[in-house]
Amino acid sequence: MHVNIDSEEDVKIAKDQNLDSYRFSISWPRILPKGKLSGGINHEGIAYYNNLINELLHKGVKPFVTLFHWDVPQALEDEYGGFLSSQIIDDFQDYADLCFKEFGNKVKQWVTLNEPYQFTTGGYVNGVSAPGRCSDTTCLGGNSGTEPYKVAHNLILAHAKVVQVYKTKYQKHQYGHIGITLNTNWYIPYGENIIPDKKAAERALDFQFGWFMEPLTNGDYSKSMRAIVKSRLPTFTDLQSKEVNGSFDFIGINYYTSNYVKNTPPQENAKPSFKTDSMTELSFDKNGIPLGPRAAAFWLYIYPKGLRDLLLYTKDKYNNPAIYITENGMNEVNDPTLSVEEALLDTYRIDYYYRHFYYIHSAIK
């Protein structure tokens, strides 16, 4: 469960549903309004989260806490451009250190970043989320061919520094674990026996899931990203590579949907962009047949088998890491004609989760 506003009522609902954990994020600017320790600590913010954590533990629910869910302090965005600058790494480290100090004796599951891929592409490729940067004229500024790679690089380095702080200063006496949450689709070659489509599906994974998993497990970006993006892709120093490699106790996976993938040739004389770098064309249908029923969201086609395939892929390719499914779900089209009682007969969603659990179980077996 992820929420932005928590209350005793929320905690009671979690307990009444027999949940054993409750996932929420701490707001960086709520703790440090200026983004830095030197700008002062908001002790009311710390008290708020302590009260929430205490209430959860009182009800027997374990807090599962994310440090960054995209809310860069505006002061740091104004000062040096947020995650476009490597300056943010030290400030994020200080913020995380403060959280470990204040809450770590009670929190045993920490997530450094939630969906860095979505933060990066939404904010620096498409410009649909903060800070709204991209190459298109719809954005006030940005470069979709270079900025996403800079931002992702700084996110990875910031993550690694925070994990290092936790492991060296806190883990031995707080007895917790720390990881990162990544979102990814599963990708299916449009032509099952067409080699270019198979390679395109591999690239699609490299440019989403592998963008972060490769450095976290091998200390560098994938060979396909290096070959395609070339000088636009930042490099790790030897020390950074060592710090990044293995910088997690677990991986959180957010899975919602899958895509068919076709290979597309590189566009000659086109302005470089993350949108086209992977040389893939994504779709939800094959020969007019969708890969699954569509939920209310235009991008969410239900394909439970993709979660099993993703879990097995992660096990085989990335050294069998400990995994939490941190997000999975669907929405329905609102039907105002239903009574409350009828709406609560949530059979569609029950079936959704049943089928996803089935494929999770088959992956474990």
Active centre residues (catalytic): 327
Closest CA to 68 of 24, 122, 18, 25: 25
Q: Distance between CA atoms of 338 and 353, rounded to whole angstroms?
A: 22
Burial 295-332 (b: 16+ CB within 10 A, else e): beeeebbbbbbbbbbbbebbeeebeebebbebbbebee
Could you tell me the two tokens for 132? 């709204």
Q: What is the residue type of 363?
A: A
Residue 205 near residue 187 (C-beta atoms within 8 A): yes
The residues with which 177 forms a beta bridge, in sequence order, are 109
Q: How many CA atoms lie within 13 A of 290 on its CB side?
A: 11
Q: Distance between CA atoms of 105 and 150, rounded to whole angstroms?
A: 34
